[in-house]
Chains A and B, each alone.
Chain A
Amino acid sequence: MKASRIVRTLAIWMVAASLAGCGAQTAQTGQNEGAQPPGQGQAQPEPAKEPQAATGGELKIAYQAQPPTLDPHVTTSQASATIGRNVFETLVTADSKYHVQPMLAESWEQSEDGTTITFRLRQGIRFHNGKEMTADDVAASMNRWIQISSAGKDHFTGAVFEAKDAQTAVLTLKQPTATAMAILAYGGGNYPAIMPKELIDQADPKGVKEYVGTGPFQFKEWKQDQQIHLTKYADYQARSEAADGLAGKREARVDDIYFIFTPDSSTQVAGLLSGEFDIAADVSYDSVQQLESNPEIKVDVAPTGMLNLYFNKKKGLFANEKARQAIAAGIDAESILIAAYTQEKYYELNHNMMMYYQIGQWSSENGRESYNQNNPEKAKQLLGEAGYNGEEIVIMTSRDYEDMYNGAVAFQQQLKNLGVKSKLEVYDWPTFTELRNDENKFDILVITNTPKPEPSSLAFMRKDFPGWTNSPELDELLVKFRGAPNLEKAMSVYDDIQKWFYEYVPVVKIGDGNSISSSQKSVEGMTWLDGLILWNVSNAK
Chain B
Amino acid sequence: MDALGSNAKRLELSQVKQTLKKEQRRLQLRRFLSNKLMLTGSIIIVLITAFALVGPYLVSYDPYEMDPVKRLQPPGAEHLLGTDNFGRDLLTRIVYGARVSIGVGFSVALISAAAGMVIGLYSGYYRALDQVLMRICDGLMAIPGILLAIALVAALGPMTENVIIALGIVFIPYVARIVRSATLVVREETYIEAMKAQGASAARIIWMHIAPNTLSPLVVQATFIFADAIITEAALSFLGAGVPTPDPSWGNILYDGKLVIFKAWWMTVFPGILIILTVMGLNFAGDGIRDMVDPHSSLSFKRKKKK
Contacts and interface: CB of A to CB of B under 8 A. Distances in A.
Contacts of B157: 427
B259 A409 contact: no
Interface in A381-427: 399, 402, 405-406, 409-410, 412-413, 424-427
Most buried by A among B66, B154, B260, B263: B66
Contact of B68 (A287, A335, A428): A335
Majority secondary structure of chain B interface residues (helix, strand, loop or mixed): loop
A425 B259 contact: no
B158 A427 contact: yes
A402 B260 CA distance: 12
Identify the 9 closest CB pairs spanning chains A and B, nearest first.
A338-B68, A286-B260, A409-B246, A286-B263, A339-B68, A426-B244, A399-B240, A413-B66, A426-B245
A274 to B, nearest CB: 13
Given A342-B68, A409-B246, A410-B68, 18 more contacts: A266-B258, A286-B85, A286-B259, A286-B263, A289-B263, A290-B263, A338-B68, A339-B66, A339-B68, A399-B240, A405-B245, A406-B86, A413-B64, A424-B246, A425-B158, A425-B244, A427-B158, A431-B154
A506 B72 CA distance: 35
A269 interface: yes
Nearest to A405: B245
Interface residues on A, range: 20 to 34
A409 B68 CA distance: 12
B71 interface: yes
Contacts of A402: 259
8 contacts: A266-B261, A269-B262, A287-B263, A342-B71, A399-B245, A413-B64, A413-B66, A426-B244
Majority secondary structure of chain A interface residues (helix, strand, loop or mixed): helix
Interface string B16-33: 000000000000000000
Contacts of A286: 72, 85, 259-260, 262-263
A198 to B, nearest CB: 40
A52 B259 CA distance: 41
A394 to B, nearest CB: 12
A453 to B, nearest CB: 33
Interface residues of B, number: 23
B263 A409 contact: no
A266 B259 contact: yes
Given A269-B262, A428-B154, A412 B246 contact: yes
Nearest to A427: B158
Contact of B245 (A284, A289, A335, A424): A424
A265 interface: yes
B2 to A, nearest CB: 69
A265 B69 CA distance: 22
B162 to A, nearest CB: 12
Nearest to B67: A335
A179 B71 CA distance: 44
Contacts, number: 58
Interface in A236-288: 265-266, 269, 284, 286-287
Interface of A: 265-266, 269, 284, 286-287, 289-290, 335, 338-339, 342, 399, 402, 405-406, 409-410, 412-413, 424-428, 431
B272 to A, nearest CB: 17
Contacts of A409: 66, 86, 245-246
B66 A410 contact: yes
Contacts of A424: 244-246
B246 A265 contact: no
A237 to B, nearest CB: 45
A284 B256 CA distance: 12
B66 A266 contact: no
A430 to B, nearest CB: 9
A409 B247 CA distance: 11
Contact of B262 (A287, A339, A412): A287
B259 to A, nearest CB: 6
A413 B245 CA distance: 13
Nearest to A413: B66
B103 to A, nearest CB: 19
Interface string B258-288: 1111110000000000000000000000000
Interface string B76-99: 000000000110000000000000
Interface in B222-254: 240-241, 244-246
Nearest to B246: A409
A289 B263 CA distance: 10
Contacts of A269: 262
Interface string B147-164: 000000010011000000
Contacts of B263: 286-287, 289-290
Contacts of B69: 338
Contacts of B259: 265-266, 284, 286, 402
Contacts of B68: 335, 338-339, 342, 410
A463 B201 CA distance: 65
Nearest to B66: A413
Contacts of A289: 263
Nearest to A335: B68
Interface string B56-77: 0000000011101101100000
A424 B66 CA distance: 15
Contact of A339 (B64, B86, B260): B86
Nearest to B87: A339
Nearest to B241: A428
A402 B261 CA distance: 16
Contacts of B260: 284, 286
B63 to A, nearest CB: 12
B51 to A, nearest CB: 26
Contacts of A338: 68-69
A121 B71 CA distance: 55
Nearest to A416: B64
Contacts of B262: 266, 269, 286-287, 290
A463 B262 CA distance: 44
A284 B71 CA distance: 14
A46 B259 CA distance: 50
B282 to A, nearest CB: 29
